C-alpha cells in the first residue's frame, strides 16, 4: 500500500504487507498515523474513509 498526502503521511510511504507475518500489530504513539492508516485502507477498498456513514 502506498500513502501520500494522507493524514500525517505528507511524503510517499510504502507498506509491504506481504513481507509481514500472518498476524502483525500496528502500534505507535498518539498522532503517529495508526487511524489514518486504517482510514486509507477503507478509502482504497470502499471509496470513503472510516468514521463516515
52 part of a folded domain: no
51 part of a folded domain: no
14 part of a folded domain: yes
13 part of a folded domain: yes
9 part of a folded domain: yes
- For 8, the domain range is 2-46
37 part of a folded domain: yes
Supply the pLDDT for residue 53. 57
pLDDT in tens, 10-45: 899 898 988 888 888 889 999 888 888 888 889 889
Supply the pLDDT for residue 24. 85
Cα separation, 45 vs 48, whole angstroms = 8
Total tally of structural domains belonging to the chain? 1
Supply the pLDDT for residue 52. 59
22 part of a folded domain: yes
Q: How many angstroms separate the Cα of 12 from the Cα of each of 1, 19, 22, 23, 48? A: 10, 19, 25, 25, 20
17 part of a folded domain: yes
Amino acid at each position: 500500500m502506498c500513502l501520500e498526502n494522507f493524514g500525517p503521511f505528507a511524503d510517499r510511504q510504502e507498506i509491504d504487507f506481504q513481507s509481514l507475518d500472518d498476524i502483525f500489530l500496528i502500534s505507535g504513539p498518539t498522532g503517529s498515523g495508526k487511524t489514518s492508516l486504517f482510514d486509507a485502507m477503507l478509502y482504497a477498498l470502499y471509496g470513503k474513509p472510516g468514521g463516515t456513514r
